[in-house]
Amino acid sequence: MTPQATEGSARIATAFVCPFCGLLCDDLPGPDESGDISAWTRKLQALCPKAASGIDALSGAGACDAARIDGGVVAVDAAVAEAARRLGAARRPVIGGLGGDVQAMRAALTLGDRIGARLLHRNQSAAQRNLLAQQSRGGMTTTLAEVRQRAEMLVVVGSDVTRGFPRLFERVLTPDPVFADVAVRRLVLLGAPVPQRLPAGVGVDTVDSGSLDLFESVAVLRACLRGQPSPAMADKIEGLAELARRMAECRYGVIVWAAGDLDVASADLLIEQLHQLVIDLNRETRWAALPLAGNEGDLTANSVATWQTGFPLPIEFAAGRVGYDPFPDYGDADLLVWVGALPGVGSAELSGVSGDTPQIVIGAPSRAVGLATEHVFIPVATPGVSASGHLVRTDGVITLYAPAVQRTALPSAAAILDSIAAALPGVAP
Amino acid sequence: MSITRLSNAHVIDPARGVDTVTDLWWRDGRIADAPADGHADREIDGNGLVAMAGGIDMHTHIGGGKVNIARMLLPEDHSPVAIAHDDTLVLRSACGHAATPTLTAGYRYALMGYTTCFEPAMLPVNARQAHLEMGDTPIVDHGAYAMLGSDDFLLRLLARNAPQSMINDYVAWTLNASQAIGIKVVNPGGISAFKFNTRSFDLDDVHPHYGVTPRRILQVLARAVHELGVPHPLHVHASNLGAAGNLETTLKTMAAVEGLPLHLTHIQFHSYGTEGEFKFSSGATRIAETVNRSQNISVDIGQIMFGQTVTCSGDSMVQHRNAPMGQPKKWVMMDIECDAGCGVVPFRYRDQSYVNALQWAIGLELFLLVEDPWRIVLTTDHPNGAPFTSYPHLIRLLCDKSFRDEQFAKLHPAAQQMSILPQLKREYTLAEIAIITRAGPARLLGIKDLGHLGAGATADLALYREQADREAMFSAPAWVIKHGEPVVRDGRIVATPRGATHVVRPDFDSAIERELATYFDSHMTQRFDGFAIGDAELCEACNHGGALVVHTCGGQ
């Protein structure tokens, strides 16, 4: 999916779909006709810090748009051939990172199946909290437009969700919902600070849950809804009892969390309880959960893995079989393929993979920053910026086609992964 | 150019009335007349083989958000699947059972002689994902029905009594924008009503917000599909799925469209009475009688089979109601984007459950009581009634009365008392099987070059070894041909070509796009400009370079 090069303007499309968080905002400006990156970044800075820093990171200091083998600049073909050679010799390879579009993930799965690799996303620990909770007990969820038009109460649990999803509330707390009564609409904070980014005029309540932690608070809410709070606790749970009463009276409410930011042990169990709270509320009224996700393409990677193999990540291909291994041990990894077409935070590191494991990094030019020299590096275009590709939005339902808005000579991650698979030893040209 | 002769095969091609031992020729990807010089580049000895067009599953949940939720929800249901193949061919690892992954689905459909599949419930807002998943389903051609009827835009049009012409424009735009071949309605208005906390919604109930009834939604959508000349009639998942006594709703639904064409899907789930000790009985006789005398009605069955499966439905209202009966005890519901919803509930159908046993019998009663095979289609509503891999077993049940009786004898005794199945002597002929598994679906979908073996048809074929055990016969064809080339030989996959996407493109007045653009700005959370799926995006980015087949609508 490399973009079509066009003459003239450095800008090749105007419809920018921002790939830098799971919200995939398509209402932010793209580059202007001059293609001036710093002008674009300044415009974005006023609208969304993650969009601005994402664009900034792509062209920042140390970025490298040349392929390298062990520090030496080479042609892309040579780097692909060397990557294939090293993969052919690897016994226990891991394909990690997986920050990219649908097309990159398809290619990573094809390659992984060929070489018997283990695969997981860089953001797996966050994504997996939501996955494990759903695989245990299920849940009831909703999407951004439903929240925008219907929600009369949003309960934010555990963290400032605008840290990872800066424009969430501007997008769902618009002034004129169709079905919700904006006069009663409230944002309720349960164990969460006041969000840094909030549109004017939104009423905010902070729940007093006393000394109770989030597990206990949710348990109390569920008990109150059943009419069974412990009398001994009555004076300690006034704030929660009041919240439970208001939740039960709300016509359509939404519980929001960002799994990666829940600073509790066994967060998947907390999420499971939040889903059960939603299910309890739906006996009489309508509530749904909005488990925020999709940053660094984690929903994209997990969606494609699930439809192709039946399993979300982490998975393992071995001897013509695919298996699901939610708690993998990568201590024996002897080669790490790192796919990072989206310029996410962090470098090519995976927990459990030794830091001195040889790497093949297929990433945005900024991924070269700080990369040790004894690796193969192949720069690739970024979906939504310099390549066109499909990305899955935070609610898991909407897949957007993010067009390239900039010209580049760089190939897509999918094209490189496909080339490596085709160049593996034993494959006829 | 490559010419193939299949010699001396028992060709069963009911669309042309052919049921005889003869030769069949194809040139490249198309069935052809015998060449004058009699030369063939490839000869296939058809002795002992029954040749039919490739199978067509017109209602199988193979791609899209709810199926993917089902896959994610049940990792324990994905046992490894060994797919035999040629040594020269690299296949992808496969696993899965109920909520089949895309790769496994493509392989296993082909191994069964099926060459085309249609996803029946593609939400317009989720169409990209559905097409991406179908693009990752190897070998089979595919297409999808776009789901309308609980979408805010349509319900607003109805609430303000917009003219039928405007509804037609919206329906036509939806088919174009989402790259669909038909329109599906699920529990008309009910998915929306559930978001307003309505828990049941019958044909003449009034929507709490828009003030419209399911009857009106059905009527305008059936009329729109008809007036646009879309070949496949409105594909209806009726109100009240699964509820005891819902046969009355189903009969009223058939009457509601006043003679317009209508396809009632998984009708087994809509054919229940309230008689007997357990207040749950078979409505098959009354439903079949009405279908038999209503030439405008076609149905598919949605047969259940015993064992573990998972139900994936757009009908969030009914799925939420039925969730407590699910097993294992985990399920997912979604409200989706002022457009639709979904519910995913695992089910384990048991022959010792009175209700499940009777559901099984009701499906078979319907198969045997509906007289015109051209208006009934073999489905299990995969995976809702059972995984599609149970089709060969189902075919044997239809063809073999004694086998059917043996299975019936294993049912919950009270269910046996409530079914007329043993009295139904009918056994499906091979020609009738060919109708309900390929010729009929092709005709119901308006696909002129699939489902038959006349000159010019796409050379998609399944060649089965004639066997008295129809389950064995239909489980493992000797050959499966896709677009003229072998894809399966004796239970081994020998090639994995890319299937085509089938769509229709009815015309519409572009004024509807201006209204939609305004609506998207004020109501949705994505831009109108990026909503429609372009041809290049569909073929290159979704379908790995696969072909696009546009079927004409009436009047085009």
d(CA A71, CA A374): 7
Helix, strand, coil shares, percent, chain B, to 5: 35, 25, 40
CA atoms within 13 A on the CB side of A16: 21
ipTM for the complex?
0.98
Binary contact (B209, A179; C-beta < 8 A): yes
Binary contact (A136, B336; C-beta < 8 A): no
Residue in A with minimal Cα distance to B346: A138
Helix ranges restricted to H, A76-123: 76-89, 102-115
Check if B532 contacts A (Cβ < 8 Å): no
**Given pLDDT bands bounded at 50, 70 and 90, which one contains residue A370?**
confident
Of A201, A126, A183, nearest to A158 (Cα)?
A126
The whole-number average pLDDT for the span A396-405 is: 96
pLDDT tens figures, A309-327: 999 999 999 988 999 999 9
User: Contacts of residue A398 in chain B, CB cutoff 8 Å?
Assistant: 125-126, 337, 525-526
Residue in B with minimal Cα distance to A27: B527
pLDDT tens figures, A205-263: 999 999 999 999 999 999 999 987 777 777 778 999 999 999 999 999 999 999 999 99
Nearby residues of A77 by Cβ (< 8 Å), 6 or more positions away: none
Answer yes or no: are the C-beta atoms of B493 and B91 closer than 8 Å.
yes
Q: Is the pLDDT reported for residue A8 higher than 50?
A: no
d(CA A304, CA A307): 5
Answer yes or no: are the C-beta atoms of A357 and A336 closer than 8 Å.
yes
Angle between the N-to-C axes of helices B127-135 and B65-73, in degrees from 0 to 180, rounded to the nearest 10: 70
Q: Which of A103, A282, A322 shows the shortest C-beta gap to B93?
A: A322
Binary contact (B332, A26; C-beta < 8 A): no
Check if B335 contacts A (Cβ < 8 Å): yes
User: Contacts of residue B104 in chain A, CB cutoff 8 Å?
Assistant: 310
Q: Give the pairing of strands B182-186 and B141-148.
A: parallel
Residue in A with minimal Cα distance to B92: A113
Of A343, A380, A344, nearest to A360 (Cα)?
A380
Binary contact (B525, A148; C-beta < 8 A): yes
Start-to-end C-alpha separation, chain A: 22
Q: Three-state SS across A112-127?
A: HHHHCCEECCCCHHHH
Binary contact (B129, A176; C-beta < 8 A): no
Estimate to the nearest angstrom the gap between the alpha carbon of B493 and the chain centroid: 24
Residue in B with minimal Cα distance to A177: B523
Q: What are the helix and strand counts (H, E) for chain A?
A: 12, 17
Q: Which residues pair with A258 in a beta bridge?
A: A292
Q: Which residues of chain B have pLDDT under 70?
A: none
Name the average pLDDT for chain A. Answer: 92
Interface of B with A in 109-168 (CB under 8 A): 123, 125-126, 128-129, 132-133, 136, 152
CA atoms within 13 A on the CB side of A210: 16
CB burial of residue A8 (10 Å; 0-12, 13-18, 19+): exposed
Check if B522 contacts A (Cβ < 8 Å): yes
Q: Which residue has 């009857």 as its token pair?
A: B215
Answer yes or no: are the C-beta atoms of B121 and B182 closer than 8 Å.
no
Q: Which residues pair with B56 in a beta bridge?
A: B116
The whole-number average pLDDT for the span A13-37 is: 91
d(CA B209, CA A227): 31
Binary contact (B334, A141; C-beta < 8 A): yes
Check if B95 contacts A (Cβ < 8 Å): yes
Residue A233's pLDDT is: 73
Nearby residues of B244 by Cβ (< 8 Å), 6 or more positions away: B272, B273, B274, B279, B280, B281
Which sign does the torsion angle of CA A307, A311, A317, A319 carry? Answer: negative
Q: Which of B68, B123, B195 shows the shortest C-beta gap to A286?
A: B195
Residue A144's pLDDT is: 98
Residue A346's pLDDT is: 53
Q: Which residue has 């990369």 as its token pair?
A: A371
Residue A350's pLDDT is: 73
Three-class DSSP category at A342: coil
Q: Is the pLDDT reported for residue A3 higher than 60?
A: no
Which value, in Å, is the radius of gyration of the alpha carbons in chain B? 22
Angstrom CA distances, B230 to A14, A355, B253, stand at 35, 60, 20
Q: What are φ and ψ of residue B536, in 5° steps?
A: -65, -45
Neighbours of A424 (CB within 10 A): 15
d(CA A294, CA A351): 20
Residue A7's pLDDT is: 42
User: Contacts of residue B533 in chain A, CB cutoff 8 Å?
Assistant: 401
Helix, strand, coil shares, percent, chain A, to 5: 35, 20, 45
Interface of B with A in 235-294 (CB under 8 A): none
Q: Is the pLDDT reported for residue A429 higher than 50?
A: no
Q: Which residues pair with A333 in a beta bridge?
A: none
Check if B67 contacts A (Cβ < 8 Å): yes
Q: Which residue has 């704030």 as its token pair?
A: A239
Q: Which of A15, A148, A320 shows the shortest C-beta gap to B529?
A: A15
d(CA B409, CA B403): 10
Residue in A with minimal Cα distance to B81: A321
Answer yes or no: are the C-beta atoms of B207 and B192 closer than 8 Å.
yes
Which amino acid would we find at residue A58? L
Q: What is the DSSP letter of B294?
A: -
Q: Which residues pair with B19 in a beta bridge?
A: B12
Answer yes or no: are the C-beta atoms of A139 and A278 closer than 8 Å.
yes
